[in-house]
Amino acid sequence: MSRLLARPWLGPMSLLLCGLLSIATHAHAAEGDYRLGTHGEVLDDRVMYTIGGGSAVGSPSSLYRPSGLGVGGSWRANMMCGNMSLTNTLQNQLNGATEGFQQIMGSVVQNATQAVMSLPALIIQRANPGLYELLSNGVMQGRIDFDRSKLTCQAMAEKMADKVGQAGWGALAKNQEMQSNLEQTGGDAVATVKNTESQNGNNGVSWVGGSKAGGNGQTPIRVTSDVVRAGYNLLHNRTVADSTSISSSDCLGGAICQTWASPQEESEWAVRVLGESEVATCDSCETLRAAAGSGLTPLIQEAYSERLKALQGLLSGSLSPTPDNLAKASSPILPVTRGVIEALRDDPDQDLLARRLASETALSSVLDKALLLLRTLLAGSHEPNIASAEPAQTALTKNIDALEREIRLLQTELQVRQMLATNTASLVLDRHAGGADASRTVEQGDPEPGRLNDADARRK
């Protein structure tokens, strides 16, 4: 004590050092302030277990954004039957490379091989009518085998188209190409089939707005973003190919155009949540490239960080409680009012309650966007070209199911967290509080202490 008195500058200096150390410690701890699941200090334990924990939703599995479209594969089951060659089939049949004619005629074909290679058909007919008839039967048998194999191939391709997603797009391209060729050839069946098989899907399919997509030199079919863009425009009474933004005056208070100003913004949000599939039908293209979606929880984390910063600014006074500043801490489903801010300023558990409120507004804002995206996908499914493309409807159904599953998972997580937080720990606190109240109870005395003695005296 004498040393401290001898150095009067040491007292203020010690306080300054302690203050700097506390600031540094607080700054280090603040690095995780904007993470879901980060809990503040609690003065009243009941608050934690009454509201159901520190945050409304758990931390996201990963904060990394999915990378771009990955390398895909090629699948041309719908087109490979057109690559069959009748010429090669007949040559292989006659030369014994494949079974069929050789199996039927046996050694006769082997003896006729040299004659077939050196003599025209007419000379063979004159020189050896029996051999010519034999060859004619062989050609006919080869043609029958060829047609049977091709029909089998086409039947297998149709069956695979039901199992493999991108194969269905190729079958759709072939279908549309055949319809176009039928008109051009005047109904010539042979020419129609030949022209269709020669294209191998290079002309793509009719996509959003009637334009061609997926073919050679065309934009690929982007299932998620294209459907969202079409639905956005249909809901705002615009052409499906419109990419311009909607001004606030033209929005007329609509929820979707207030949330996303342009179809591009909503499609980017949808791709981040649901992922994307790029499909092509051309012969030399990669038929499928895909990117995974991140789900809703990383977006909830981002919204939580923004709203917690806004709430802390409102509570500290660095932000005035104007409607614009309150909107930064709110969501369309759960607004934060001036009264809530004033009440939180006086609450001893301000830190925990502010974090919980920020997580709830973040969760509600992302859920609101997810519901709006569902409506947009449903609207986009009614665009004529999308509605008539079965592979698009299949992919769209998967996207809708995935989004609904994400919403249900968040709802289940919130319910489980609230149920567990209000279970045993809450009961322990209630029992402890009940025992403390009982120990503080004071038995009231008789307001007339001597009335029993007076009653005995009167009897005597």
What is the structure's pLDDT at 78? 42
The DSSP 8-state label assigned to residue 349 in this structure reads T
Reported as a single tens digit per residue, the pLDDT across 137-193 is 776 666 666 666 556 655 655 555 554 455 678 778 877 777 777 777 676 666 667
Helices H, strands E: what count in the chain?
22, 5
What is the structure's pLDDT at 85? 60
Q: What is the mean pLDDT of residues 201-212?
A: 89
Distance, CA of 282 to CA of 326 (rounded, Å)? 53
pLDDT, mean over the chain: 74
The structure tokens 């045993």 sit at 424
What is the structure's pLDDT at 304? 92
- Name the more confident of 12 and 378: 378
- Name the more confident of 66 and 294: 294
Residue 36, judged by CB atoms within 10 A of its CB (0-12, 13-18, 19+), counts as: buried
CB of 204 closer than 8 Å to CB of 237: no
CB of 182 closer than 8 Å to CB of 358: no
Position 139: which residue type?
A: V
Residue 253, judged by CB atoms within 10 A of its CB (0-12, 13-18, 19+), counts as: exposed
> What region, left, alpha or beta, does residue 347 occupy, with left being phi > 0 and alpha being psi -120 to 50 degrees?
beta
Distance, CA of 372 to CA of 154 (rounded, Å)? 42
Reported as a single tens digit per residue, the pLDDT across 278-292 is 988 887 778 888 888
Beta-bridge partner residues of 288: 73, 279
Q: What is the mean pLDDT of residues 249-268?
A: 92
CB of 245 closer than 8 Å to CB of 262: yes
**Which of 27-31, 77-81, 452-456 is the least confident region?**
27-31
Distance, CA of 230 to CA of 386 (rounded, Å)? 9
Position 36: which residue type?
A: L
Whether residue 438 is predicted with pLDDT greater than 70 in this model: the reply is: no
